Structures are given as C-alpha cells and as structure tokens.
C-alpha cells in the first residue's frame, strides 16, 4: 500500500516537473526564435512540437531527481515521512519503489532513442533555418571501401542525393585512379544507393572507356548515417548509431565518435536513479532536524552540478578529446558504487 502511494505521488511529481520545465524551455526558445520562424502557422506548430520533444530529451533525467526531492519535501512537511519510519518502514523500503520507477522510465527513455525522437532537435533547427523540416547537406565527401565518394547535395528525409561522384582506386593498393562514376542523382533503396543512367569512365591499359549504366553501390550507407555521422552530428538514434558502428568497423574507419554516441545514450541517463539514492541519504526525517529550504537548494544544486559535469565529459568524448569509456562509462560506475555504498548504510 505504501509503495503504491509513494509510486503514484512520484509519478505525479515527475509529470508536473517535467511538463513545467519543458513548457518553460519551449516558451523561452519560441520567443527567441520567433523572428526567424516561417509565417506559416503549421510550421510554427511543428517547430514547437519538435522543440517540446527535444526538451523532454534534455530534461527528462534531471526531472527524475527533482521529482524525488519534491516528493520528499512534501512528505516531510506533511509529517508523513516520520510516520512511515514510526510504522517500521526503513529508508531502503521508501527509496526502493522510487528507484524502480526511475529505472523503468529510464529504459523507456532509451527505447524512445531508437526512434526518430532523437532527430527532433534537427527537425526544429531545419524549420528555423530553412523554413522546412526537410534539409540538405552540401558537399559531403567520405570513404567507401577503396573508393572516395562525393555528394554535391544529400537530402536525408527524401533518401536522395544529387550530383554524385565516385572515385574508385586500384584494388591492388596505392592512389592510382582506376575509374570514375558520375551520376546526376541517386536514391537509397533496399540498403544500397541506386544511380540511374550513371556514366562510368574506366582507365584501361591503352585507352579510356566510357559507358552508361545503372549502378547499385554504397551498401548499408543509410542517409541518416551519412548526414549525422559524417557531418559530425551527435543527434542520431541508437539503432542508427549501432548500425553505423558495425558498418564503420567493416570499413576500417575510426569509430571513437560513434562509440561515444552509443555509450552516451546507453549509460548517461542512469545517473538520475543513482543520484536519487545518494541524495535520499541526506534527507532529514522532519523539518525540525534540518533547514528544508537549505536542503532543497543544496540537493538541486548538487543534481545540476553533477548533470553538468557528466554532460561536459560526454561532450569531450564526442570531440574525441577523452576516451568514451573514461568520459561516460567510468563516471556512471563511480556513481553506482557511491549509491550502493549509501544504500547499504541506510
């Protein structure tokens, strides 16, 4: 009964705090971006919706911690917390339902990052900058096996590209050009890029041969991967990031940045449940045993500082300044160890 009561209260506080923070985030951003937004009301609504999703993405983990702090302050002021202790409930029994709810919601948060939810910020920026959520990437140059590929323009959402150049080198090694493929357009279909009516210029021993044919190439190079990874973006879905990691490993391409993206999405959100356990250790039993205003300020400040430091380390991992394991996974392991130590001390 007590677990159900605490769980329902905690969920209510999560919804209220997350909704309030995201609304403030969207409102402030909308006012700042209003002059840059298109006059179309539908695009403005789409912009607000995408910014709302991005706000949920950014603020969800810290909202879990703030909700726990707010719940405990409510229990202290209403003297319910001391009543639970008097009834024989331990600190472990009181934190356990909150921790389990936070863990479940964090896993749901991870599932969301396997969808287009991860691209909400990019769609919003496209509406603000290009007055459409469909944007294009210019002058994209990348390596594919023993070839170098140039896209004059890539349109990820339409899964198409314009003015494609593929420079194929000799398979025996070296930098000698063996053939050149030219195509006015390309479309991604069935895990490969289709180049209709492409011009192939081949260098033969004593002459140069030119022919025209349809070509399927660049197997596995999805538009979202080309647009996000090769352009240095870190807003990519978890599934696309894992797919890109496996693809780059096969191509012997450096994968540190994509490793950082994967580890960030898998481990970073879990700082919130661990931090909840640590903060709960310092929660006073009644208002008489501590200054509630000072406690709430200190707890929220500690949560914000921890959040900021972990995010800063993740950003350094994205730029490959620090190894992703050290910057992202190791701090989570340390937080887990500290949380476990405090939990045993309850």
Which range of 23-37, 157-171, 232-246, 323-337 scores highest in mean pLDDT? It is 323-337
Q: Return the higher-pLDDT residue of 233 and 177.
A: 177
The model's confidence at residue 204, banded by pLDDT at 50, 70 and 90, is: low
Is residue 265 within a helix (H) or strand (E), and if so which, with residue range? helix 256-267
Q: Give the Cα separation of 199 and 196 in Å (integer).
A: 9
Lay out the sheet containing 192-203: strands in order across. 137-144, 147-155, 160-169, 177-189, 192-203, 208-217
**Residue 206: pLDDT band with limits 50, 70, 90:** low
Give the mean pLDDT of the chain.
87
Contacts of 142 (CB under 8 A, 6+ apart): 148, 149, 226, 230
State how far the Cα of 346 lies from the Cα of 85, in Å rounded to an integer: 12
Count other Cβ atoms within 10 Å, centred on residue 196.
13
- The arithmetic mean of pLDDT across residues 37-49, rounded, is 88
* pLDDT reported for residue 205: 67
Architecture of domain 134-233: Sandwich (2.60)
CA atoms within 13 A on the CB side of 78: 9
> Which one of 118-132, 204-218, 265-279 scores highest in mean pLDDT?
265-279
- Candidates 156, 149, 205, 160; CA nearest to 182 is 149
CA dist 84 and 71 (Å) reads 14
Query: Is residue 209's pLDDT more than 70?
Result: yes
d(CA 340, CA 325): 21
Query: What is the spatial distance between Cα 274 and Cα 339, in angstroms, rounded to a whole number?
Result: 6
97-108 pLDDT, tens digit per residue, is: 999 999 999 999
What average pLDDT does this structure show over 324-329?
Answer: 93
Higher-confidence position of 185 and 2: 185
The pLDDT of residue 211 is 80
CA–CA gap between residue 312 and residue 333 (Å, rounded): 17
Considering only residues 292 and 83, tell me which one the structure prediction assigns the higher pLDDT. Answer: 83
Using pLDDT thresholds of 50, 70 and 90, give the confidence band for residue 289: low
**What residue ranges of the chain are covered by domains with CATH 2.60.450?**
134-233
Summarised one tens digit per residue, pLDDT across range 251-286 is 777 788 889 999 999 999 999 999 999 999 888 877
Cα dist from 98 to 92, 103, 105, whole Å: 10, 9, 11
d(CA 308, CA 314): 10
Q: Cα angle at 32 between 116 and 61, to 5 degrees? A: 45
Distance CA 291, CA 293 (A): 6
Cβ atoms of 180 and 165 within 8 Å: the answer is yes
What is the C-alpha to C-alpha distance for residues 8 and 14, in angstroms, rounded to an integer?
Answer: 10
Using CA atoms, how far apart are residues 325 and 282, in angstroms rounded to an integer? 30
Average pLDDT estimate for 226-233: 68
Least confident of 103-117, 200-214, 321-335: 200-214
Give pLDDT, residue 257. Answer: 85
Q: Which of 111, 114, 176, 109 is nearest to 147 (CA)?
A: 176
Answer yes or no: is pLDDT of 114 > 80.
yes
pLDDT of 163 over the 70 cut: yes
**pLDDT for the residue 223:** 83
- The pTM of the full predicted model, rounded to 2 decimals, is 0.86
């Amino acid at each position: 009964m007590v677990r159900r009561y605490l769980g329902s209260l905690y969920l209510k506080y999560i919804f209220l705090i997350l909704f309030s923070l995201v609304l403030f985030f969207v409102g402030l951003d909308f006012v700042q971006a209003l002059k840059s937004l298109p006059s179309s009301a539908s695009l403005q609504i789409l912009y607000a919706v995408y910014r709302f999703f991005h706000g949920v993405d950014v603020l969800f983990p810290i909202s879990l911690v703030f909700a726990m702090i707010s719940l405990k302050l409510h229990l202290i002021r209403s003297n319910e917390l001391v009543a639970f202790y008097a009834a024989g409930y331990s600190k472990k029994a009181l934190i356990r339902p909150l921790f389990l709810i936070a863990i479940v919601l964090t896993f749901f948060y991870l599932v969301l990052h396997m969808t287009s939810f991860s691209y909400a910020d990019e769609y919003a920026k496209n509406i603000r900058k290009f007055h459409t959520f469909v944007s294009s990437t210019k002058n994209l140059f990348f390596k594919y096996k023993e070839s170098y590929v140039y896209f004059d323009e890539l349109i990820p959402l339409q899964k198409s590209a314009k003015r494609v150049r593929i420079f194929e080198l000799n398979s025996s090694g070296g930098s000698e050009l063996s053939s050149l493929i030219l195509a006015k357009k390309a479309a991604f279909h069935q895990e490969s890029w289709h180049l209709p009516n492409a011009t192939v210029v081949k260098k033969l021993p004593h002459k140069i041969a030119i022919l025209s044919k349809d070509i399927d190439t660049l197997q596995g190079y999805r538009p979202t991967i080309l647009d996000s990874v090769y352009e240095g973006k870190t807003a990519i879905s978890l599934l696309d990031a894992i797919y890109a990691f496996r693809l780059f490993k096969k191509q012997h391409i450096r994968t540190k940045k994509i490793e950082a993206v994967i580890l960030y999405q898998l481990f970073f959100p879990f700082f919130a449940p661990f931090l909840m356990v640590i903060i709960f250790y310092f929660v006073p039993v009644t208002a008489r045993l501590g200054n509630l205003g000072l406690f709430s300020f200190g707890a929220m400040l500690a949560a914000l500082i921890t959040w900021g430091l972990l995010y800063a380390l993740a950003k350094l991992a994205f730029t490959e300044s620090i190894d992703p394991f050290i910057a992202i996974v190791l701090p989570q392991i340390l937080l887990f160890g500290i949380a476990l130590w405090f939990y045993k001390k309850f």
